[in-house]
Chain A
Amino acid sequence: MSDVPGQFEQAVLLALIRLGRDAYGRAILNEIQGRLNRDVSAGAVYATLERLEAKGLASSRLAPGTAIRGGRARRYFMPTGAGIRALNDAKSAADSLWRGLSWPLRVRA
Chain B
Amino acid sequence: MTNKEPSPPRWAEAVLRCLLRPPDRESVSGDLLEEYRAARRPALGAVRANAWYIKHVLSVLWYLIRPYALVLAGQSILLALTVFRPGHHAPHPSPQMRPVFLSLMVKVLWYGSITGAPGVSLFDAVIYVSAASRGVQRTGLIKTGMLGAAGASVVGFTVLFAAAAFITPSLALATFANPLLFAFMLVYLLVPLAYAVLLGALAGLVVRWIVPLAPRKLGVS
* Chain A residues within 8 Å of B, Cβ to Cβ: 24-26, 29-30, 41-44, 46-47, 50, 59-62, 65-75
User: Is the Cβ of B24 less than 8 Å from the Cβ of A46?
Assistant: yes
With A29-B31, A68-B5: A73-B61 Cβ-Cβ less than 8 Å: no
Partner of A43, one of B27, B33, B61, B221: B61
**Chain A, Cβ-Cβ closest to B27:** A75
User: Is the Cβ of A68 less than 8 Å from the Cβ of B38?
Assistant: yes
**Chain B, Cβ-Cβ closest to A40:** B59
User: Is the Cβ of A70 less than 8 Å from the Cβ of B30?
Assistant: yes
User: Is the Cβ of A67 less than 8 Å from the Cβ of B2?
Assistant: yes
Partner of B63, one of A24, A43, A70, A72: A43
In the complex, chain B residues whose CB is within 8 Å of the CB of A44: 59, 63
User: Is the Cβ of A26 less than 8 Å from the Cβ of B29?
Assistant: no
Q: Does B194 contact A (CB under 8 A)?
A: no
In the complex, chain B residues whose CB is within 8 Å of the CB of A47: 63
User: Is the Cβ of A60 less than 8 Å from the Cβ of B221?
Assistant: yes
- Tell me, in angstroms, the Cα distance from A44 to B58 when the chains sit together: 11
In the complex, chain A residues whose CB is within 8 Å of the CB of B56: 41-43
Q: What is the distance, in angstroms, from B202's C-beta to the closest C-beta of chain A?
A: 26
Q: What is the distance, in angstroms, from A9's C-beta to the closest C-beta of chain B?
A: 14
